[in-house]
Amino acid sequence: MFVCALAVCAGNSAAASDEAANEFVLRAALGRVVDGDTLTVMLDSGPITVRMHGIDTPERNQANGKTATKLLRTLVEGEALEIEPIEQRDRYDRMVAKVFVRGEDVNARMVSSGYAWAYRQYLRREPADEAYCRLEAEARDEGRGLWAAARARPEPPWVFRARKDGR
């Protein structure tokens, strides 16, 4: 069983997090879904690529990669998107953000569906991110998505990428 070892920072209440999150949200339209955790969106200022914060989905050429991509497409296609930036740019020049549709955290939906891992390496120490770990454990325990096969032990995408890169 995976354990999420994150502690809530002192003085960081859920209410304060909610207030801060609502201060800077970008309204966007979907450009295209790149894969299960990356999409291109259209802002008033032009297109940007968004890497979804705190989750990692199978790569397109990995088992379940196409299914994860298709699920993300069904969650966001035709919807007005709300983008909550976490980092302005990652090493691939993508904005790292939480994506919302009608106030619902799409990143969390991907994890709860069983088609994304909580990407512990990048999670912050706050309740909203800790929830991703709980959602992943529930999906695994209930056999959703990647975890559907009996005794499923899908290869995490970060292991798949490292193996493909010869690391």
pLDDT tens-digit profile of 76-109?
999 999 999 999 899 999 999 999 999 999 999 9
Does 51 qualify as catalytic in the annotation? yes
* Percent of the residues in the chain that have a pLDDT greater than 70, as a whole number: 84
23 pLDDT tier (thresholds 50, 70, 90): low
> Of 82, 84, 94, 120, which one is the catalytic site residue?
94
Q: Which of 110, 103, 140 is nearest to 3 (CA)?
A: 140
| Predicted TM-score of the model (pTM) | 0.82
Catalytic residue among 19, 23, 32, 51: 51
For residue 45, which phi and psi values (nearest 5 degrees)?
-85, -5
Q: Is 23 a catalytic residue?
A: no
- The confidence band for 125, taking pLDDT boundaries of 50, 70 and 90, is confident
Catalytic annotation on 60? no
Q: Dig out the tokens for 5 from the structure.
A: 């070892």
Q: Are 138 and 116 in contact (CB under 8 A)?
A: no
